[in-house]
Amino acid sequence: MITFAAKTDIGKERKMNQDFYVANGDTPSLFILCDGMGGHLSGDIASRTAAQSAETFIRMQKTLDLSEEKTKRLLKNAVNYANKMVYSRAQNTEAFSGMGTTMDICLVDFDILYVAHVGDSRVYLLRGGELSLITKDHSLVEEMVDSGMISKEEAENHPNRNVITRAVGTNFSVENDFTAVPLFEDDILLMCSDGLSNMLSETEIKNLLISDQNLDKVVSNLVNRANENGGRDNITAIVFKNVHKEEA
């Protein structure tokens, strides 16, 4: 059984919050996080449109028999549908031109986590005290690390670290990464926008994820620490945990 908590915050420097999330603990549990980009209002429109479009698509198209291959196809089509909706609005309204958004979709079904990923928002897994990153940033800096041009340490403070190479809505089509992860008892997942991951080290994230049994307090602690460390961007955190029904 999945328990969860979620919180979004404008941060200390932005004038509006362009993050948007969906968190639903039904069976299967569905979590979507989008971090919009664009001019005044358009980033907010992009993230909201993408998240709500993907949620609607998944709820309408979901079947009882969710094999890995069927789920991969379902999430790919949901991302494509969201991309179509955002791209269409951007093409038809001058004020929305060029808008786009990151997108992470987490679907939990029978102790399996399915993840669709576009952009540089992240999904982390905490298991047995070890934190691992499930997603891989679609960013210029990540490509530079992969090619050996810079180190991971240099990437952390690189001036182009916020330049993403893939987003929902900026082009006619988009490709998403797909991952399937078996979930164990007491696994904790964190979905977050870069307003959180850029402000906290992985050690801080790990320590805060285990700082309290109450997940509402955990997400508040994560968001508060990101603000304490600078709060330079919008901050969103979704934390969910795989527990026995007796514990929920």
What pLDDT was estimated at residue 154?
Answer: 65
Examine residue 160 and state whether it is found in any structural domain, yes or no: no
Q: Is the pLDDT of residue 247 over 60?
A: no
Examine residue 161 and state whether it is found in any structural domain, yes or no: no
What pLDDT was estimated at residue 153?
Answer: 67
Of 200, 207, 197, 239, the C-alpha closest to 131 is: 207
C-beta neighbour count of 11 within 10 angstroms:
22
Question: What residue ranges in 122-213 does DSSP mark as E strands?
Answer: 122-127, 130-133, 177-182, 188-192
Residue 137, φ and ψ in degrees, nearest 5: -60, 135
Structural domain span for residue 112: 2-133+168-242
Examine residue 148 and state whether it is found in any structural domain, yes or no: no
Q: What's the whole-number average pLDDT of the chain?
A: 92
Examine residue 100 and state whether it is found in any structural domain, yes or no: yes
Kindly report the CATH number assigned to the domain that includes residue 120.
3.60.40.10
If one counts the domains in the chain, the total is: 1
pLDDT digits (tens, 9 = 90+) for 28-61: 999 999 999 987 679 999 999 999 999 999 999 8
Classify residue 160 as exposed, middle or buried by CB count within 10 Å of its CB (0-12, 13-18, 19+): exposed
Examine residue 150 and state whether it is found in any structural domain, yes or no: no
With H, G, I as helix, E, B as strand and everything else as coil, classify residue 234.
coil
Share of the chain above pLDDT 90, in %: 79
Examine residue 247 and state whether it is found in any structural domain, yes or no: no
Examine residue 93 and state whether it is found in any structural domain, yes or no: yes
Q: Is the pLDDT of residue 147 over 90?
A: no
Of 174, 248, 187, the C-alpha closest to 25 is: 248
Examine residue 172 and state whether it is found in any structural domain, yes or no: yes
